[in-house]
């Protein structure tokens, strides 16, 4: 809640759970997110990870890039394996956090069945979907959360024709304990939401936008900036849903009063959107404007 003190770069724990050096691309925002998120999670947790950039980032057998026990599972079974680990912790009388950490493909496509099952059962796990908006590990193919018009290797030339699945909304429809959207460009927002989620029982779902230089066609040095622009343009909205009540998180709530950046600024920094016509950009801007008109009504009191 807003009354809990916010973590700042100064108050963030200096303890590291991720070894220096890993196999992420330079400029990968997911790697940064993982490092900061780990600080919130603390040492007493077990990770369950399906095939994804995260698998590779951790390093190749027999070395590991982090100081957590990590179980690498099959692509479709993240939430089920986490369920099993959770059941074991219960049997062993341990309160260890079970954290599923999966990509958007592993969450929105192949893994959605297991996730839906775990949501319905109310498993006591933290499920983190980092959304780099395509299958990056296999070379930038479209996923269920790839945005409309985005170029990928399986949506070449004109980009993806369909809109992205709204996974947090799908998750929210299961009525879990907690749903939060985050951005790798606001890692402390993620950190503090994790701290709160740790105190809750039931399934806590995080959906995090993680800009990806090779997949998005952007400069490595710009990933944090691009993630910020996604939020500042109102395209990617940070919010949380607790007990069914949705609240905009600070970086997005701020936009209710302050103006938003044009989405064009965000799009133009990325090769994957470079082919978009002025009409397409205008249509996207209109969609975002309409969404924010709704938000202004819905969150008038915030």
Partner 1 sequence: MSNKCIDSGNNAAAHAARLAGVEVVAAYPITPQTPLTEKLSEWVASGEMDAEYVAVESEHSALGVCIGAASAGVRAFTATSANGLLYMSEQLHWAAGARLPLVMCVVNRGVGAPWSVWNDHQDAMSQRDTGWIQLFVKDHQEIVDVTIKAFRLAEAVHIPVMVNYDGYYLSHTYMPFELPDAEAVRAFLPPYVYKHALDPQRPENLNSVTLPDARRDAGGVLRGGYMDIRHNLQQEMHQALAVWEEIDADYRQRFGRGGAPVLEAYRLEDAEFVVVAMGTLANQFRDVVDRLRQEDGIRVGVLAVQVYRPFPARQLAEALQAARGVMVFEKGLSYGHQGALFADVKSALYPWPARPVLRNFIVGIGGREIPTNELCRNLKQACGQDELPPEVADTPNWIGLQL
The reply to whether 63 sits near partner 1 by the rule CB under 8 A is yes
Contact pick of 53, 81, 180, 231 for ligand SF4 (by CB under 6 A): 53
**Is residue 161 a contact partner of residue 148, using CB atoms and an 8 Å limit?**
yes
Residue 138 binds what, of partner 1, ligand TPP, ligand SF4, none (CB under 5 to 8 Å, by partner type)? ligand TPP
Contact pick of 15, 16, 88, 219 for partner 1 (by CB under 8 A): 88
Cα 271 to Cα 29, 166, 219: the distances in Å are 17, 23, 10
Contact set for ligand TPP, span 116-145 (CB under 6 A): 132, 135-138, 143
CB of 57 to partner 1, least distance (A): 10
The reply to whether 106 sits near ligand TPP by the rule CB under 6 A is yes
The set of residues, in sequence order, having a beta carbon less than 8 Å from that of 247 and lying 6+ positions away, is 239, 240, 241, 253, 299, 302
The reply to whether 302 sits near partner 1 by the rule CB under 8 A is no
Contact pick of 18, 28, 179, 208 for ligand SF4 (by CB under 6 A): 28
CB of 30 to ligand SF4, least distance (A): 5
The set of residues, in sequence order, having a beta carbon less than 8 Å from that of 246 and lying 6+ positions away, is 172, 239, 240, 298
Which token pair is 129? 């979907």
The set of residues, in sequence order, having a beta carbon less than 8 Å from that of 257 and lying 6+ positions away, is none
The phi and psi torsions of 233 (rounded to 5 degrees) equal -85, -5
Chain centroid to CA 260: how far?
Answer: 22
The reply to whether 221 sits near partner 1 by the rule CB under 8 A is no
The reply to whether 180 sits near partner 1 by the rule CB under 8 A is no
Contact pick of 136, 208, 230, 263 for ligand SF4 (by CB under 6 A): 136
Contact set for partner 1, span 15-44 (CB under 8 A): 43-44
The reply to whether 128 sits near ligand SF4 by the rule CB under 6 A is no
Chain centroid to CA 176: how far?
Answer: 17
Report the alpha-carbon distance of residue 212 to residue 218 in Å, rounded.
8
The reply to whether 212 sits near ligand SF4 by the rule CB under 6 A is yes
Residue with tokens 């004109």: 158
Report the alpha-carbon distance of residue 123 to residue 256 in Å, rounded.
35
Site size toward ligand TPP, by CB under 6 A: 14
The reply to whether 214 sits near ligand SF4 by the rule CB under 6 A is yes
Residues lying near ligand TPP in the complex (CB under 6 A) = 51-53, 75, 103-106, 132, 135-138, 143
């Amino acid at each position: 809640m807003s009354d809990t003190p916010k973590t700042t770069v100064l108050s963030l724990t200096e303890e590291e759970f991720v070894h220096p050096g890993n196999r992420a691309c330079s400029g990968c925002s997911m790697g940064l997110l993982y490092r900061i998120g780990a600080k919130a999670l603390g040492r007493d947790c077990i990770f369950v990870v399906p095939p994804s950039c995260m698998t590779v980032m951790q390093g190749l057998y027999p070395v590991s890039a982090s100081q957590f026990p990590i179980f690498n599972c099959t692509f479709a079974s993240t939430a089920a394996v986490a369920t099993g680990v959770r059941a074991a912790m219960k049997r062993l009388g341990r309160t260890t956090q079970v954290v599923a950490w999966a990509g958007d493909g592993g969450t929105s496509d192949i893994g959605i069945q297991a996730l839906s099952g775990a949501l319905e059962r109310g498993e006591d796990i933290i499920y983190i979907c980092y959304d780099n908006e395509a299958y990056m590990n296999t070379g930038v193919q479209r996923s269920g959360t790839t945005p409309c018009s985005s170029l990928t290797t399986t949506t070449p030339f004109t980009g993806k024709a369909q809109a992205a699945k709204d996974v947090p909304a799908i998750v929210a429809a299961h009525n879990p304990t907690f749903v939060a959207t985050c951005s790798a460009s606001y890692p402390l927002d993620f950190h503090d939401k994790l701290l709160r989620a740790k105190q809750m029982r039931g399934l806590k779902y995080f959906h995090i936008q993680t800009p990806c230089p090779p997949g998005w066609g952007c400069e490595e040095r710009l990933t944090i900036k691009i993630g910020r622009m996604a939020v500042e343009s109102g395209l990617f909205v940070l919010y949380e849903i607790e007990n069914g009540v949705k609240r905009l998180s600070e970086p997005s709530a701020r936009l209710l009063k302050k103006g938003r950046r044009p989405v064009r600024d965000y799009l133009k920094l990325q090769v994957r959107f470079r082919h978009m016509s002025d009409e397409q950009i205008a249509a996207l801007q209109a969609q975002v404007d309409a969404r924010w008109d709704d938000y202004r009504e819905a969150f008038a009191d915030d």
